[in-house]
Amino acid sequence: MSLAYLVLDDDSMALKRAVEALRIAYRELADMPYELADSWLKMAYACLVTRRVPSAGGLPEEAVRHLEGIGRPPGVPEWLHTSMVCAEIAEKTFEHIKDFNALIARLVRLMGLCLLGLLSFQELLEAFEKARDAFARAGGLCQARLLGECLQALREQGGLGDADFLEEFLRRVFVRVLI
């Protein structure tokens, strides 16, 4: 649900729904790793797109402990750090259950690294290619096609420096991979 609000440009509601999903996942679905990982991924994406973080008071206690346990490096915006930490938690959880969504969580995390200048745009493109190819080999043709569309948009733009492009890419193109 939070992803729909991102597409509609309702950032406050997107964050609220992402927090709610994470809270429900910890309260009701704690024994279901896929649901937990998916909730972490949605939170990561909501923070990345909105460039905001939810208030700690709204998050489940377990989530606050995870986020506070990893210090934020100097100069890294809180929203970007939170997004990358959430994406990493999702990635590790998906990897643990051998789910291909680990590749999507990794791409969200790598987007953050690229925005920080810690990953080149070419390396980001290569990660998108690897994810697309992995989904194609596994029979996830819809995901592979959507990742291919992401690659095409990124290649045409040639970088993430244009704020308008990045906004449009995250809200209209890459979001479809997560849906």
Residue range 89-120, pLDDT digits in tens: 999 999 999 999 999 999 999 999 999 999 99
Type of residue numbered 15: L
Q: Is 121 exposed, middle or buried (0-12, 13-18, 19+ CB in 10 A)?
A: middle
Is residue 156 scored above 80 in pLDDT? yes
Type of residue numbered 38: D
Is residue 70 scored above 90 in pLDDT? no
Calpha distance 150→107 (Å, rounded): 11
Please, which pLDDT band fits residue 56 given cuts at 50, 70 and 90? low
What is the residue whose two structure tokens read 């948009």?
153
How many domains is the chain partitioned into structurally? 1
Count CA atoms closer than 13 A to 105's CA, side-chain side.
28
Show the domain range for 17. 2-178
Please name the helix (run of DSSP H) or strand (run of DSSP E) that holds residue 120, with its range, or none: none
Whether 126 and 119 have beta carbons less than 8 Å apart is answered as no
Q: Is the pTM of this model over 0.85?
A: yes
